[in-house]
């Protein structure tokens, strides 16, 4: 793509990444891609806001050249120093040795550790400003959205907020950089929730704090460093606020069930259908995942938003089936807490999964309502038990509030 003007003299200068398989080395983006958005403000002084991952260096520099000579850049604002936004930092310093990097005190320290650079660095904190000419940058500390050093930059004249990871999402940009130019935003909204649950969710308390801080500003446009630019900022602020509340006010979670199952030889899978049938008959939305065949990245958005979880898992060598244990470990790490849960599963010669599961659920503050196990293949009676269990769980969820 080429540089795109957002408002007079403010340009999107981002890169679409459609060839990386994993974001942060863990989250799949093979099909969806991701964008790293950088912005140019070309005034009497020239500022770049956030850089990009260290890919497509020539493309990135050529795009800057469409607007200004990269050697004349005065400031590079480092809202967040994670390498998907600073990968180009050594290149920028070589091209423009006079450039002043701008960020929080912690950014300065972390940049030194990550890149071993001696830079001109200006430390800013909430309320500090830099005048570029007619454009004035204002800075706000928003720690832990996503890392502890993060700041957001607000440009007073255009009323654009540049919040880096906050309000971002996965998904390479498919033709337009503006959300309001897409007829159907479902893909980007789903990918924003997947991104939120993978990357930001653990820091939901900090996200709400940041939203409260930034809501006081007169924001016309939100220009994050991943995903679409929002000229109707309320749309993405409301989504992020809702998602952050799922993590801080569990009662706000949606009525629905994330149905996790795994099966070695099909005996637990057979009951999966019966339990799901019981839930569906009662009108509860159910999203089913075979955890051995689905990357946890795609499971997390449902775990995050739905109140109910069904765990269908066999015993494996006297413990929980390993792919199920992995999903629960990631849920613990991402602080997916306060869920209502049922469990079922088969065992071969002795149980053990249940004993392994219970302390994990305690850590997650997941409320286990009922479970049942059987040896070997399920009987007709077990199928009925599974359906009845699903129905009782649905009733419980409907009566929750």
- Are the C-beta atoms of 85 and 225 separated by less than 8 Å? yes
Stretch that binds ligand FEO, among 6-14, 82-90, 116-124, 188-196 (CB under 6 A): 82-90
Helix (H, G, I), strand (E, B) or coil at 128: coil
Give the strand pairing for 4-7 and 10-12. Answer: antiparallel
Q: Which stretch binds ligand FEO (CB under 6 A): 12-20, 81-89, 281-289, 374-382?
A: 81-89
Contact between 146 and ligand FEO per CB under 6 A: yes
Span of 76-84, 118-126, 279-287, 346-354 interacting with ligand FEO by CB under 6 A:
76-84
Residue 128, number of CB atoms within 10 A of its CB: 15
The answer to the question of residue 226 lying near ligand FEO (CB under 6 A) is: yes
Q: Is there binding between residue 391 and ligand FEO (CB under 6 A)?
A: no
Residue 82 binds ligand FEO (CB under 6 A): yes
In contact, 66 and 86? CB cutoff 8 Å: no
Taking phi first (over 0 means left), then psi (-120 to 50 degrees means alpha), and beta for anything else, what does residue 150 get? Answer: beta
CB of 40 to ligand FEO, least distance (A): 19
**Residue with token string 């005048």:** 131
> Do residues 320 and 357 lie in contact, with contact meaning Cβ atoms separated by under 8 Å?
yes
| Sites for ligand FEO among residues 83-112 (CB under 6 A) | 84-85
Take residue 57 and report the two structure tokens written for it.
Answer: 């260096």
Q: What would the x/- binding string for ligand FEO be over residues 174 to 213, using CB under 6 A? A: ----------------------------------------
Comparing CB distances to ligand FEO, the nearer of 115 and 372 is 115
| 165 is a site residue for ligand FEO (CB under 6 A) | yes
To the nearest whole angstrom, how small is the minimum distance from the Cβ of residue 221 to ligand FEO? 19
| Ramachandran assignment for 372, one of left (phi > 0), alpha (psi -120 to 50 degrees), beta (any other) | beta
> Binding to ligand FEO by residue 80, rule CB under 6 A?
yes
Residue nearer to ligand FEO on the CB measure, 224 or 314: 224
Element (H, E) at 371: strand 367-375
Q: Give how many residues touch ligand FEO by CB under 6 A.
A: 8
Q: Does 17 bind ligand FEO (CB under 6 A)?
A: no
CB of 311 to ligand FEO, least distance (A): 31
CA distance 276 to 258: 10
User: Quick check: 35 and 224 in contact, CB under 8 A?
Assistant: no
**Complex with ligand FEO: residue 33 or 345, whichever CB lies closer:** 33
Residue 209 near residue 166 (C-beta atoms within 8 A):
no
Q: Could you list the residues that contact ligand FEO (CB under 6 A)? A: 80, 82, 84-85, 146, 165, 225-226
């Amino acid at each position: 793509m080429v540089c795109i003007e957002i408002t007079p003299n403010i340009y999107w200068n981002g890169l679409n990444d459609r060839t990386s398989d994993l974001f942060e080395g863990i989250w799949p983006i093979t099909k969806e891609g991701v964008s790293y958005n950088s912005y140019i403000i070309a005034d009497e002084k020239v500022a770049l806001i956030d850089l990009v991952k260290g890919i497509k260096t020539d493309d990135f520099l050529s795009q800057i050249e469409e607007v200004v000579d990269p050697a004349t850049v005065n400031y590079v604002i480092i809202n967040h120093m994670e390498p998907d936004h600073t990968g180009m930092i050594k290149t920028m310093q070589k091209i423009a040795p006079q450039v002043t990097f701008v960020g929080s005190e912690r950014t300065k320290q972390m940049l030194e550790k990550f890149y071993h650079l001696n830079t001109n660095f200006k430390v800013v904190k909430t309320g500090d400003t830099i005048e570029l000419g007619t454009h004035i940058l204002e800075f706000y500390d928003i720690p832990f959205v996503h890392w502890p050093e993060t700041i957001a930059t607000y440009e007073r004249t255009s009323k654009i907020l540049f919040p880096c990871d906050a309000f971002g999402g996965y998904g390479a940009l498919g033709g337009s950089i503006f959300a309001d130019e897409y007829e159907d935003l479902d893909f980007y909204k789903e990918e924003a929730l997947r991104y939120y649950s993978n990357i930001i969710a653990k820091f939901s308390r900090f996200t709400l704090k940041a939203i409260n801080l930034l809501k006081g500003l007169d924001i016309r446009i939100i220009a994050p460093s991943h995903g679409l630019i929002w000229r109707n900022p309320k749309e993405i602020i409301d989504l992020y606020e809702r998602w952050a509340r799922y993590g801080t006010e569990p009662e706000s979670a949606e009525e629905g069930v994330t149905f996790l199952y795994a099966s070695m030889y099909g005996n637990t899978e057979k009951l999966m259908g019966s339990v799901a049938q019981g839930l569906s008959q009662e009108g509860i939305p159910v999203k089913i995942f075979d955890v051995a065949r689905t990357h946890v990245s795609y499971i997390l958005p449902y775990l995050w938003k739905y109140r109910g979880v069904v765990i269908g898992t066999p015993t494996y060598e006297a413990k929980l089936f390993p792919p199920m244990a992995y999903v629960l470990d990631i849920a613990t790490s991402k602080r997916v807490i306060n869920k209502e849960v049922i469990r079922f599963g088969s065992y071969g010669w002795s149980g053990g999964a249940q004993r392994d599961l219970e302390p994990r659920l305690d850590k997650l503050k997941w409320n286990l309502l009922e479970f049942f196990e059987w040896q070997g293949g399920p009987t007709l009676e077990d199928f009925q038990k599974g359906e009845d269990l699903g129905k009782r769980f649905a009733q419980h969820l409907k009566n929750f509030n």
